[in-house]
Amino acid sequence: MLKDTCFIIAELSANHGGSLEIAKETVRAAKRAGANAIKLQTYTADTITLNVKTNDFKIKQGTVWDGQYLYDLYKGASLPWEWHKDLFDLAKEEGLVCFSSPFDKTAVDFLEELNTPIYKVASFEITDIPLITYMASKQKPMIISTGIAAIEDIELAIEACKSVGNNDITILKCTSAYPAAPEDANLMTIEDIAQRFGLNSGLSDHTMGIEAPIVAVVLGARIIEKHFILDKSIGGADAHFSLDEKEFKQMVDSVRLAEKLIGKVDYEMTNKKKKSREFSRSLYVAQDVKRGDLITEFNIKSVRPGFGMHPKYYNDLLGKKFKDDFKKGTPLSLELIMDK
């Protein structure tokens, strides 16, 4: 899955407007925007929560969804399971990887029938160790978001994967706020995840705009996931913090440029560098001189270009004598200097 460049995932999520055709065109748009993958979410309201209208099941977190019951929110946001095969097939035609976040074992079994190449653990499911273990047992690459996780939660999730022999794990820094404030992003955690757990790390981003993914790739992110919508006028649960095609393409282009800028550690003297050294400083005769004249700070100078002696010899040359007459602008060399 992971190559030399960052793996960029367009998250379809609830951005389908209840229309298979919108979902299909979103897949095509993700390809046009430069995504490597399109990610779905596989659940029904009944597999993710209970149809209970009590205070426990009512959203009251200061979000745009406040006042809704979980069951009602998920019923409207879920992607119909009968659409999955069409979207998997279309993604393959478009050259995109298609995979999903399952939210219970029946969803895992369903995705196995579709030969999903990857499993994604959503942030709020990181505590569901039996579900993570079941996903990991299918021996597909695991991507795990950490939006609500303490270090202990991450350790338990990793342990669950490894307990069934699955070591192909990528951990995504995530802030579970929709949208997430920049001051809550804490992208330095991406580096720490890689160092602390010895795994690939990345970013599941809920901030507005495209800046966070660009910073993330500089910090070593191997995967970037961002919510994607065909047109924000479609509306829906996730529309307000999703990128449209133009914005997503700008993000992809910026990430790819950042990757080029990061490059590698490089001190090699390439031919290009050697050629550029012609504009470096070197020692030149700064005024016409005669044979036997003393070399002084007035008749030699460190200037551009770089065809004369290295400036490090400047103090060594002072007080010596010129071997012959030389014009101003003559590059200094040992051949111009008397031996004694």
User: Which of 218, 239, 262 represents a domain boundary (last residue)?
Assistant: 262
Q: What is the pLDDT of residues 191-225, one digit of tens each?
A: 999 999 999 999 999 999 999 999 999 999 999 99
Which of 54-58, 162-166, 237-241 shows the lowest mean pLDDT across its residues? Answer: 237-241
Instruction: Please indicate, yes or no, whether residues 19 and 107 belong to a single structural domain of this protein.
Output: yes
Euclidean distance between the first and the last CA atom of the chain, given in angstroms as a whole number:
69
Q: Which domain holds residue 284?
A: 271-336
Neighbour tally for 52: CB within 10 Å:
12
Instruction: Look at the block and give the residue holding tokens 């012959």.
Output: 324
Instruction: Look at the block and give the residue holding tokens 């599941």.
Output: 204
User: Which of 209, 230, 262 represents a domain boundary (last residue)?
Assistant: 262
Residue 42 has pLDDT above 80, yes or no: yes
Q: What is the pLDDT of residues 45-76, one digit of tens each?
A: 899 999 999 999 888 877 767 888 889 888 88
If pLDDT is split at 50, 70 and 90, which confidence band does 178 have?
confident
pLDDT at 1: 61
Residue 2 has pLDDT above 80, yes or no: no
Instruction: Please indicate, yes or no, whether residues 158 and 297 belong to a single structural domain of this protein.
Output: no
What value does the mean pLDDT of the chain take? 94
| Residue 130 · residue 156 · CB < 8 Å | no
Instruction: Please indicate, yes or no, whether residues 299 and 205 belong to a single structural domain of this protein.
Output: no
Residue 308 within a domain: yes
Quote the pTM value: 0.86
Instruction: Please indicate, yes or no, whether residues 133 and 198 belong to a single structural domain of this protein.
Output: yes
Tokens of 82: 């009968």
Domain count along the chain: 2
